[in-house]
Each structure stands twice: as structure tokens, then as C-alpha cells.
């Protein structure tokens, strides 16, 4: 005897994933889902537990900065059954980007923690030095052109 697979409404899936109903429809339209969403007898979307798990992965990928086109590419690879090597490459690239962001955030948190300790160590009198010497900030300083401006304003030139 086979066990019935629970069917979830779009509202239930929204509650479980934190995505709005509008976002769920958008994800479907944009091809971000691993499997086509079934329709019930009344034409309403019917989701499975597997769909919820996929959407939770999409939320994690978006939260960590993966662009929607890259999620779409990953979903396409999953749908077409492409070998794991291509999927692995997509995830490894994203993993490297997240690790880089995490490193920068850790450096910035260290600076903030030093500032908190500096303020905690004072009696509220006198200034606290405002150094910004995290690698993230220092890298940005190296990219700023400090030569006299030709148009009257200094600009940050992005390296990308």
C-alpha cells in the first residue's frame, strides 16, 4: 500500500518557505523550480514536500547572493538531468563567493568589535580613534584615485 503524498497549497508553501505568494508565482514563471508545479482539479497550484525543499534551497541561494539567472541555470541543470559535474561547478563558484563575503564580514565585525571595546573602555570622556583598517576597507582605499579631479569631484572607480 503506497502512502499518500501530502499536497500543499500555495499559501501553505509561502508560510513554510518565507516567500510571498507573488514570489512563488514569479519563481515558477522564471523557471527557477526543479519540477513543474502540478495543478489540482480546480486549477490551483499543488506543491509537494520535494517542491518545498527545493524552494528552501532557492531561498538560501538567494539569501547568500546567488543571482536569479544562476539559480535558473542550476534549476535547468537539475531538470535536464545534466551530470553532477556541471551542478557542482555552479555550487562551487557560489561557495567561493559566499566564503569571500564571509571573510569580509568577519573582518568588518572584528573592526566593529574593536570599536565597541574602545567605547566600553572609556568613561564617556574624550574622543575614540576612528580607524578603519579592515582588508575590505583598505582594498577600497587603494582603488580610489586621489589625483586632483578634472571635473571638480572625486569619484570611486569600481575595478569591475
* Other residues' Cβ atoms within 10 Å of the Cβ of residue 14: 18
Question: With 60 as the cut, is the pLDDT of residue 49 above it?
Answer: yes
Residue owning grid cell 572607480: 157
d(CA 17, CA 125): 48
Query: Cα dihedral angle (18, 19, 21, 26), rounded to 10 degrees?
Result: -170
Residue owning grid cell 499543488: 46
pTM for this entry: 0.71
Classified as helix, coil or strand, 39 is strand
11, 21 Cβ separation under 8 angstroms:
yes
The topology under which CATH files domain 1-82 is: Multidrug-efflux Transporter Regulator; Chain: A; Domain 2 (1.10.1660)
More confident residue, 135 or 113: 113
> What confidence tier does 123 reach under pLDDT thresholds 50, 70, 90?
low
d(CA 116, CA 67): 34
Average pLDDT, the chain: 85
d(CA 31, CA 53): 16
Amino acid at each position: 500500500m503506497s502512502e499518500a503524498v501530502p499536497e500543499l497549497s500555495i499559501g501553505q508553501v509561502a508560510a513554510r518557505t518565507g516567500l510571498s505568494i507573488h514570489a512563488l508565482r514569479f519563481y515558477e514563471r522564471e523557471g527557477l523550480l526543479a519540477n513543474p508545479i502540478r495543478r489540482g482539479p480546480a486549477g490551483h497550484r499543488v506543491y509537494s514536500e520535494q517542491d518545498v525543499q527545493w524552494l528552501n534551497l532557492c531561498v538560501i541561494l538567494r539569501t547568500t547572493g546567488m543571482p536569479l539567472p544562476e539559480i535558473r541555470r542550476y534549476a535547468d541543470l537539475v531538470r535536464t538531468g545534466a551530470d553532477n559535474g556541471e551542478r557542482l561547478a555552479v555550487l562551487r563558484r557560489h561557495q567561493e563567493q559566499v566564503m569571500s563575503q564571509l571573510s569580509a564580514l568577519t573582518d568588518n565585525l572584528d573592526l566593529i568589535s574593536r570599536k565597541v571595546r574602545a567605547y566600553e573602555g572609556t568613561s564617556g570622556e574624550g574622543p575614540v580613534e576612528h580607524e578603519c583598517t579592515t582588508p575590505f576597507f583598505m582594498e577600497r582605499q587603494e582603488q580610489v584615485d586621489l589625483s586632483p579631479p578634472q571635473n571638480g569631484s572625486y569619484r570611486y572607480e569600481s575595478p569591475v
